[in-house]
Amino acid sequence: MSYSTGKIEQNVDHAAAAATVYDAVIVGSGISGAILAHELGRQGFKVLILEAGPGHDLSVSGYQTYLERFYTAISKDNNAPYATNRAAPMPRSGDVRRLRPGLANSDAYLVQNGPLVTDSSYARVVGGTTNHFESKTPRMMPEDFEMSTRHGVGMDWPIRYRDLMPYYNKAEFEIGVSGDVEGQKSLGIEFDPGYVFPMREMPPTYLDRLVARGVDGTRVEVDGESHEIMITTFPQGRNGLPHEGYRPFNNGKDYVPASAVSSHQADMGGRCQGNTNCTPICPVQAKYDARKTLAKALATGNVQLIAQSVASKVRVDFATGRVDRIDYKIYSDPDSAMHTIASVKGRVFILAANAIENARLMLASGLPGRNGLMGRHLMDHPYLLAWGLMPEVAGTMRGTICTSGISSLRSGAFRRTQAAFAVDIHNDGWGWATGAPTTNLLSIVDEMNQFGAGLRAELVSQISRQLLLAFMVELLPEPGNRVTVRPDYVDALGNMRPVLSFSLPDYTMNGIAFARELSRRLFRRLGVEDYSKYDALDPGFVSYHGEGYAVRGGNHLAGTHIMGERADNSVVDRRQRSWEHENLYLAGPGSMPTIGTSNTTLTLAALCYMTAESISSELRNQSI
Amino acid sequence: MSLRPIQSIETLREYLYAAIQLEHATIPTYLTTLYSIHPGTNLDAVQVLRVVAVEEMLHMTLSANMLNAVGGKVDLTQIGFVPGFPTYLPNGETDFQVNRERFSPEALETFLMIERPARPEEHGKGLIKDEGRRVSILPTPTSEEGSDLHFYSIGEFYHAIQVGMEHLCEEFGEAKIFCGDGARQVTPEYYYSGGGEITAVYNLATAREAIRMISEQGEGYEGAIADFEDEISHYYRFDQLKKGRYYMPGDAHDQPTGEPLNVNWEAVYPVKTNLRMSDLPEGTEVREAALEFNKVYKQFLASLTVAFDGQPQCLIPAVGGMFRIKELAAQLIKNPIPGGDGLHAAPTFEMETV
């Protein structure tokens, strides 16, 4: 069958939910919550999901309203497809302002306490931030799990790469990964013998091939080691051509790509069409988003979803340390502050909001943890952008937003002193850096006075040579990078808003400075005219060793409730279970103690599969 | 060319060529109607039309696979391959004509006729006697007594092909009939995006599978609203727009139980029905645009021909041409015809004009 049937809508009322003791109550319907709900629901456990955002049936025509809003929006930021919601506000990159020294900025939902501001965002809608994730799905490098042991920086995970391998396989099945395993192996990532991704790799674009022709084989010296630059494709969570070699990993059957979620048969999204606006929204649903998993979870018949319900307080029985119930605020009008409060009971509670919202909810519930680590070690991938014009027409704007890049500097001895990074070749030109192609259009009209055929020709000539390299730089866990709450910063429903304190350590800045040097070198090799410019008034502007850089947020928000071996240096254990509350799990990117140079979604999905096993065995053994 | 009962491999190839022509014949009409809808409106109707158009392209590919499998040659560039509109369907259905027209209740009625389920219990071999004296673009089968026979439905037409194949295989041996080079088949790796699974055809069994897919996607399985894979058939997909409600698998005829849907007949560009190049004044931009569309469409058919004629790897880039076709069609449909009483232009699909 070439469609995902499913219906996503509220399927229980508040009174019925209040009268039930669920096996598991999950906060958030993003990928973590959807995977856990599906895994528990299909084993017969009764699950309730609380979703802060609206939960209309997202049929194809419902999804189309997201698209129409995005198409007509002036700002094409990550959250452009969604209606403004005062009850469950979300950060938008356009909110970001340069901070006045020493003063927090509380104008927008995310309170920025500095010293740096971040323009990272997340979505509070059904399916969570996977709605606008770019869908790159690289596994983490084995050494990323042992940063302290191997490189003397950061932290070790309580698990190793090999512990996560079987769960990576599961996550790649669920997300529907297209990619080339051989290319990933060449980076030093181990796979099961004979393993291939469910679908063949997304073909590199013409732009990728031009860049590869110019830079492949370039040798880079860093920290006494020589690294060879090679352009390789990224594994991606978008539908491609099923790989027949995957049959042994799928009970002998062909992999069937999961297409558009719809309550009726839509026959769409079975294959990526190469639209370039994967972020923020795939027009055909060929890109994975968590609604695909959520639809399956609801179809088990054991999972209930309550929408427009913002979890507001985790209630703990202080005698036992166990979570007793979760309070939530129900709103009917996203434009109004009117709400009522209800609460829900369960045997197990799982916070699966995201790194920021999980920590915010715990802190707002008065649960900072005895070690005070709740909300600390906030991580993200800061990006440095470098852009220029190729010497020839390069076909920019063709293909998905990114198909290939440089992964050659994701590991190495240099990580003692300097952040690793991965580099994206952006098929969508300078958009992220300059607002192209809109800004090109305006300048051709206003400054060059062109119209009609002249305008079209000039636009094509400017856009089709654009090259943008995005350096995704590692940021290690720092206790000072954190989420807090303060009673004087609340949203329309009276929920405390997240306050972010954020800075980039020298380790990361070393990586950023090195990235800038490398970009210059690569541009020289390619004959690219460098147009990169970092404005001192840019909110993300940072000076380091006499040079200035404009840093962008990566939307890979992680940390805040990191996992560890011991209760004194972490918030959750390897199962993502709270050290202090035995029936509370904090799931998702917040549990990751390091994020290396991998986009976080695949790894957090793998962690959730691992966690689902331990929750179901505990529920079954009545030990909870 | 005349369609006789299938008694030779040559006749079988003629039928299969007619099948390709038939599947293609619906595409200009579905696309014109689809693109006549104001962007952002009639979202349910847009989905239904899009899915059906995509599946017609799958059916065309399956028919091409069958023709290649029996040693035939696919050529979409032959003169007359694209019908002139209004047209009868190339399988010989003559009780209705197909137009290129805007989204309207009349267009919907035509679509229901195109996709109507077979009535084998009434029609025996699927052939009915011609009651009118209208001329189809293809000669139709002749009965033993000499009168013209017609297929009532697309499904019955394919049924005749299957019976013919079975008969020929029995008489000459399967290997003699399925004598095509397997490397010419479009296999799933080359068939990009949607519409269901492609079946490579190498023998009678796989040919039956291809025919089953085509017939059921069009009309449903054994009289049900859905096919064997529980996919709602084209006829009932269109019926949803008429009934204002989605069918769910398992629903009875005429009793959809899914979500309600809305149709807004006003949110449509007033496209001139069966527009021809000759309706467009010389020297106007809209005429140039219509000519450009025909050039691009002709090129599209040529590139599909390359893919169907031994180079299946060329199919993916060829299908990419659909984006350009959509863009050019939308440009035409958004523009009024100069001196055309407010009616809007549309692609003319007149391959002979370029």
What are the residues facing A199 on neighbouring strands? A178, A242
Task: Output the pLDDT for position B120.
Answer: 52
Domain ranges of chain A: 8-88+123-623
Q: Report d(CA B238, CA B244) in Å as an integer.
A: 10
Alpha-carbon distances, residue A33 vs A4, A594, B317 (angstroms):
19, 21, 39
Task: Output the pLDDT for position B229.
Answer: 65
CA-closest candidate to residue B293, choices B275, B306, B281: B275
Cβ–Cβ below 8 Å for A263 and B40: no
> Encoding tokens for residue B104?
């309207």
* pLDDT tens-place string over residues B33-66: 999 999 888 988 998 898 888 888 889 999 999 9
Buried b (16+ CB within 10 A) or exposed e, B121-136: eebeebbbebeeeeeb
Q: Which residue of B has its CA nearest to A243?
A: B189
Calculate mean pLDDT across residues A500-516.
98
> Encoding tokens for residue B4?
């006789």
Contacts of B56 (CB under 8 A, 6+ apart): B23, B24, B26, B27, B30
Q: Identify the DSSP state of A249.
A: G
Cβ–Cβ below 8 Å for A61 and B40: no
> Encoding tokens for residue B323?
């984006």
List phi, psi (to 5°) of A402.
-155, 130
| Average pLDDT over all residues of chain A | 94
Task: Output the pLDDT for position B114.
Answer: 85
Q: Does B219 touch chain A (CB under 8 A)?
A: no
In terms of Cβ atoms closer than 10 Å to its own Cβ (0-12, 13-18, 19+), residue B173 is exposed
Mark which residues 23-82 of A lie under 8 Å from B by CB: 57, 59-61, 64-65, 68, 71
Mark which residues 171-190 of A lie under 8 Å from B by CB: none
> Encoding tokens for residue B243?
């009934």
Q: Which of A60, A263, A273 sits opposite B193 (nearest CB)?
A: A273
Contacts of A73 (CB under 8 A, 6+ apart): A80, A81
Residue of B30, B55, B57, B193 best to disrupt the A interface, most CBs of A under 10 A: B193
Calculate mean pLDDT across residues A150-158.
98
Task: Output the pLDDT for position A63.
Answer: 86
CA-closest candidate to residue A239, choices A29, A446, A47, A2: A2
Long-range CB contact pairs, B73-80, < 8 A, 24+:
B73/B309, B74/B17, B74/B20, B74/B305, B74/B308, B74/B309, B75/B305, B75/B309, B76/B20, B76/B24, B76/B301, B76/B302, B76/B304, B76/B305, B76/B308, B77/B298, B77/B301, B77/B302, B77/B305, B79/B351, B79/B352, B80/B137
Q: Report d(CA B29, CA B82) in Å as an integer.
A: 11
Q: Which residue of A has its CA nearest to B194?
A: A270
Residue A452: pLDDT above 60? yes
Contacts of A245 in chain B (CB under 8 A): none
**Orientation angle between helical segments A600-620 and A31-42, nearest 10 degrees:** 30
Contacts of B196 in chain A (CB under 8 A): 2, 267
Helix (H) or strand (E) holding A483: strand A482-484
CA-closest candidate to residue B354, choices B281, B284, B302, B285: B302
Cβ–Cβ below 8 Å for B231 and A3: yes
Residue A591 identity: S
Cβ pair B232, B247 in contact under 8 A: yes
Task: Output the pLDDT for position B164.
Answer: 93
Task: Output the pLDDT for position B218.
Answer: 75
Return the SS3 of A248. helix
Cα A538–Cα A539–Cα A542 angle in degrees, nearest 5: 80
Q: Identify the DSSP state of A295.
A: H
Contacts of A514 (CB under 8 A, 6+ apart): A222, A418, A421
Cβ pair B187, B200 in contact under 8 A: yes
Q: Which of A59, A267, A271 sits opposite B51 (nearest CB)?
A: A267
Calculate mean pLDDT across residues A246-269.
86
* pLDDT tens-place string over residues A268-318: 888 888 888 898 999 989 999 999 999 999 999 999 999 999 999 999 999
Q: Which residue of B has its CA nearest to A70?
A: B40
Q: Higher model confidence: residue B227 or residue A24?
A: A24
Q: Which residue of A has its CA nearest to B260?
A: A264
CA-closest candidate to residue A227, choices A497, A483, A414: A414
Which of A97-101, A181-185, B156-160 shows the highest mean pLDDT? A181-185
Q: Does B288 touch chain A (CB under 8 A)?
A: no
Q: Report d(CA A260, CA A2) in Å as an integer.
A: 9
Q: Which of B40, B232, B320 sits opposite A265 (nearest CB)?
A: B232
Give me Rg for the CA atoms of chain A: 23
Contacts of A60 in chain B (CB under 8 A): 43, 47
Q: Which residue of B has its CA nearest to A2?
A: B196
Q: Does A271 touch chain B (CB under 8 A)?
A: yes
What are the residues facing A349 on neighbouring strands? A25, A584
Number of residues assigned to chain A: 624
> Encoding tokens for residue B98?
């197909």
Task: Output the pLDDT for position A5.
Answer: 53
Q: Does B229 touch chain A (CB under 8 A)?
A: yes
Cβ–Cβ below 8 Å for A1 and B192: no
Cβ pair B260, B245 in contact under 8 A: yes
A186: left (phi over 0), alpha (psi -120 to 50) or beta: alpha
Residue A112: pLDDT above 70? yes
Q: Identify the DSSP state of A204.
A: P
Cβ pair A386, A262 in contact under 8 A: no
Question: What DSSP string describes B222-287?
Answer: TTSSB-TTSPBPHHHHHHHHHHTB---TTPPTT---S-B----TTSB--BPTT--GGGSPTT-HHH
Q: How far is B311 from chain A (nearest CA, A)?
A: 18
Q: Report d(CA B180, CA B184) in Å as an integer.
A: 8
Return the SS3 of A451. coil
Cβ–Cβ below 8 Å for A264 and B195: no
Contacts of A617 (CB under 8 A, 6+ apart): none
Q: Report d(CA A226, CA A42) in Å as an integer.
A: 50
Q: For chain B, which residues score pLDDT lower than 70? A: 1-4, 92, 118-150, 192-196, 220-223, 228-230
List phi, psi (to 5°) of A452.
60, -135
* pLDDT tens-place string over residues A200-219: 999 999 999 999 999 999 99
Q: Report d(CA B96, CA B90) in Å as an integer.
A: 12
List phi, psi (to 5°) of B210.
-65, -45
Helix (H) or strand (E) holding B63: helix B43-69
Structure-derived torsion over alpha carbons of residues B151, B157, B163, B167, reported in degrees to the nearest 10: 90
| Average pLDDT over all residues of chain B | 85
Query: Cα(first)–Cα(last) distance of chain B, in Å?
Result: 25
Q: Which residue of A has its CA nearest to B257?
A: A264
CA-closest candidate to residue A509, choices A461, A557, A544, A554: A544
Q: Beta A47-50 vs A303-306: how paired, if at all? A: parallel
Contacts of B51 in chain A (CB under 8 A): 265-268
CA-closest candidate to residue A295, choices A62, A86, A612: A62
* pLDDT tens-place string over residues A41-56: 999 999 999 999 987 7
Task: Output the pLDDT for position B145.
Answer: 45
Q: Which of A259, A266, A270 sits opposite B47 (nearest CB)?
A: A266
Q: Which of A64, A241, A271 sits opposite B194 (nearest CB)?
A: A271
Cβ pair A493, A337 in contact under 8 A: yes
Cβ pair A65, A15 in contact under 8 A: no
Helix (H) or strand (E) holding A351: strand A340-351
Alpha-carbon distances, residue A584 vs A315, A352, B244 (angstroms):
11, 11, 47
CA-closest candidate to residue B312, choices B98, B61, B12: B61
Q: Does B170 touch chain A (CB under 8 A)?
A: no
Q: Does B47 touch chain A (CB under 8 A)?
A: yes
Task: Output the pLDDT for position A57.
Answer: 56
* pLDDT tens-place string over residues A422-443: 999 999 999 999 999 999 999 9
Entry pTM: 0.89
> Encoding tokens for residue A197?
């991704």
Q: Which residue of B has its CA nearest to A199?
A: B189
Alpha-carbon distances, residue A445 vs A311, A423, A450, A454, A462 (angstroms):
49, 33, 5, 10, 13
Return the CATH fold of A8-88+123-623.
FAD/NAD(P)-binding domain (3.50.50)
Half-sphere exposure of B318 (CA within 13 A, CB side): 23
